């Protein structure tokens, strides 16, 4: 009898967890749907969009650039070391190029921007929620989803691919610097090999990923901040949740997108 | 609810009937009935956590009640969507407890916020002029217009919040604890300002507070909210001899009475 009731309790806990997950997913999807609807329906707030674009895109440049530079350099060293076991050192330029454009550029760039931008969006919107600024927007006949969420979603979806494009270039340059400086590649050959090998598809697939990641970054920041609990603790939790959920969703969606874009 | 028949001849601006709202197992509103006449200033009193703020937020649609009806000028406020809801919200101005000023915008941009969006969009220069005029109305100098809210004291932030609430000349103004966190002198100044502005604009006002000085200064009529219902409602002149044990205890700040004081 006791075993039965313990089992029942266990199953009930699983059921509650599953229901909770479904509820949270539903709420997030509804929030995302409403946010996107407000992106395409007027009125628009071009000034807000521009501000967010600067904040999310322009001011993330140093972070993304440095990440790409060091990653490209390390990638060249690793490929050289691995390639030398098969006497295939010459693949360094080509693999650095695809590695950066297809995978490392978008994923590492996305993760760095997630840390910077998701957190700041969640903290800003969370504080606005706690200090009733979001309610105040409504009483001033302004839809907070339209004024706060839509510009951030759009700005991040456009800005992150641009950041990643710049990151790709810098990453390949990092590989080039290490390749030429440390691994004795000929500069002209290095550049020519990269050019010959890299296809438009490699770059665009990375940019498609980056656009999805940008959307996820802004969405998780907005969702967590918008629904922040009261007090400093609530805002703190919203910020942490935003970064963690954005990072995990980026990695999960990266796998799914890779499956879709490069079917085995 | 003992409703005094006096003062109310004007048609109702806001009507709440049987409004209930629960958060989980916590029943905050258990059937609020309240009528606010056009041009009248009603103050809702009650202890902390009795649902005063929730009442205001229900009217504004920031919180959706579980049951009951709310109408503003005869329009069903709970079912208004899209344009109808916009038109409804256009009638309101609200002063928030903490000011709720947008800290990324300058003081004048805060005040003129509504004038720079949507249907009533005005040119920037004109909006700024109106903002400065409204700031002057609440006793702030024009040079505060170009500061950020964080650079102002609590009392000044309240004034800016007040200027923002009246910027678009609303028909209804809500005041959420207008004197909380202010020193007694500043509180007095804000009370006087509210009274003057409501009178000169001919606006309908609804204030929530637990500051009795404020009540006596601002109110035409007082409603006492306790346990999620309006326990008493009557003209401000009657609060001292209301004959209602709740009101008596609250007005006189007595530890003994029907309202449980948690120590």
Residue pair B148/B103 in contact (Cβ under 8 Å)? The answer is yes
Chain A interface includes B49 (CB < 8 A):
no
Other beta carbons within 10 angstroms of residue B249's beta carbon come to: 19
In angstroms, the CA B233 to CA B212 distance is 15
**A42, closest residue in chain B (CA to CA):** B118
Task: Tell whether the model's pLDDT for residue A35 goes beyond 50.
Answer: yes
pLDDT band for B20, please (50, 70, 90 cuts): very high
Task: Tell whether the model's pLDDT for residue B1 goes beyond 50.
Answer: no
Identify the CATH number of the domain defined by range B1-91+171-180+192-263.
3.40.50.300
Chain A interface includes B98 (CB < 8 A):
yes
Per-residue model confidence (pLDDT) at position B261: 65
Residue pair B11/B173 in contact (Cβ under 8 Å)? The answer is no
In angstroms, the CA B164 to CA A132 distance is 14
Size of interface A-B (CB pairs under 8 A): 48
Taking contacts as CB-CB distances below 8 angstroms, the residues of chain A near B103 are 133
Nearest to A141 among B90, B98, B100 (CB): B90
pLDDT band for B119, please (50, 70, 90 cuts): low
Cross-chain Cβ contact B60/A139 below 8 Å: yes
Per-residue model confidence (pLDDT) at position B262: 56
C-alpha separations of A195 from A89, A187, A202, B56 in Å: 17, 12, 12, 65
In angstroms, the CA B29 to CA B21 distance is 5
Task: Tell whether the model's pLDDT for residue B165 goes beyond 60.
Answer: yes
Chain B interface includes A133 (CB < 8 A):
yes
Give the pLDDT mean for A31-43: 91
Task: Compute the residue count for chain A.
Answer: 264
Cross-chain Cβ contact B98/A142 below 8 Å: no
In angstroms, the CA B104 to CA A221 distance is 18
Domain positions in chain A are 1-41, 45-261
Residue pair B113/B131 in contact (Cβ under 8 Å)? The answer is no
Give the pLDDT mean for A69-78: 95
Share of chain B above pLDDT 90, in %: 42
Catalogue the E-assigned strands of chain A. Answer: none
Taking contacts as CB-CB distances below 8 angstroms, the residues of chain A near B110 are none
Domain positions in chain B are 1-91+171-180+192-263, 101-169
Calculate ∠ Cα A36-A37-A38, nearest 5°. Answer: 90
DSSP letter for B3, please.
B
In angstroms, the CA B52 to CA B57 distance is 9
Strand B67-72 vs strand B75-76: parallel, antiparallel, or unpaired?
Answer: antiparallel
Closest by CA position to B58, among listed B48, B39, B49, B71: B71
Share of chain B above pLDDT 70, in %: 94
Instruction: For residue B242, report the phi and psi dihedrals to the nearest 5 degrees.
Output: -75, -25
């Amino acid at each position: 009898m006791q075993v039965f009731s313990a089992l029942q309790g266990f199953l009930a806990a699983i059921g509650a967890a599953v229901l909770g997950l479904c509820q949270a997913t539903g709420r997030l999807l509804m929030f995302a749907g409403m946010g996107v609807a407000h992106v395409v329906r007027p009125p628009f707030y071009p000034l807000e969009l521009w501000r967010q674009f600067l904040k999310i895109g322009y001011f993330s440049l140093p972070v993304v650039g440095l990440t790409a530079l060091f990653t490209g350099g390390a990638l060249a060293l690793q490929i050289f070391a691995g390639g030398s076991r098969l006497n295939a050192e010459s693949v360094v330029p080509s693999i650095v190029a695809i590695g950066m454009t297809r995978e490392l550029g978008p994923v590492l760039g996305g993760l760095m921007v997630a840390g910077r931008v998701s957190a700041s969006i969640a903290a800003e919107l969370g504080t606005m929620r706690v200090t009733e600024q979001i309610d105040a927007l409504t009483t001033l006949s302004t839809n907070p989803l339209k004024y706060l969420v839509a510009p951030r979603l759009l700005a991040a979806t456009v800005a992150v691919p641009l950041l990643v494009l710049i990151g790709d270039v810098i990453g390949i340059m990092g590989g080039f610097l290490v390749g030429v400086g440390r691994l004795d590649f000929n500069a002209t050959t290095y550049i020519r090999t990269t050019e010959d090998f890299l296809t438009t598809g490699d770059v665009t697939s990375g940019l498609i990923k980056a656009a999805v990641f940008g959307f996820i970054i802004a969405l998780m920041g907005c969702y967590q901040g918008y629904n922040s609990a009261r007090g400093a603790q609530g805002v703190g939790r919203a910020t942490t949740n935003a970064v963690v959920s954005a990072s995990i969703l980026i990695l999960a969606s990266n796998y799914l997108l890779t499956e879709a874009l490069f079917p085995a | 609810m003992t409703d005094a028949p006096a003062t109310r001849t004007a048609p109702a601006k806001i009507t709440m009937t049987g409004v209930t709202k629960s958060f989980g197992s916590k029943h905050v509103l258990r059937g609020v009935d309240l009528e606010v006449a056009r041009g009248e200033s009603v103050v809702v009193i009650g202890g902390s956590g009795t649902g005063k703020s929730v009442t205001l937020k229900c009217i504004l649609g920031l919180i959706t009640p579980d049951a009951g009806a709310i109408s503003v000028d005869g329009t069903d406020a709970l079912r208004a969507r899209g344009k109808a809801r916009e038109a409804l919200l256009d009638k309101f101005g609200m002063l928030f407890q903490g000011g709720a000023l947008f800290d990324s915008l300058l003081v004048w941009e805060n005040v003129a916020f509504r004038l720079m969006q949507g249907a009533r969009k005005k040119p920037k220069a004109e909006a700024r002029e109106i903002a400065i005029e409204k700031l002057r109305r609440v006793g702030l100098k024009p040079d505060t217009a170009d500061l950020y809210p964080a650079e102002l004291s609590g009392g000044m932030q309240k004034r800016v919040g007040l200027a923002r609430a009246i910027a678009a000349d609303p028909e209804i103004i809500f005041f959420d604890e207008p004197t909380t966190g202010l020193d007694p002198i500043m509180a007095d100044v804000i009370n006087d300002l509210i009274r003057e502005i409501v009178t000169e604009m001919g606006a309908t006002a609804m204030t929530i507070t637990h500051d009795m000085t404020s009540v006596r200064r601002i109110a035409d009529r007082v409603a006492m909210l306790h346990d999620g219902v309006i326990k008493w409602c009557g003209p401000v002149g009657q609060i001292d001899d209301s004959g209602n044990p709740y009101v008596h205890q609250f007005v006189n700040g007595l530890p003994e009475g029907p309202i449980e004081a948690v120590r």
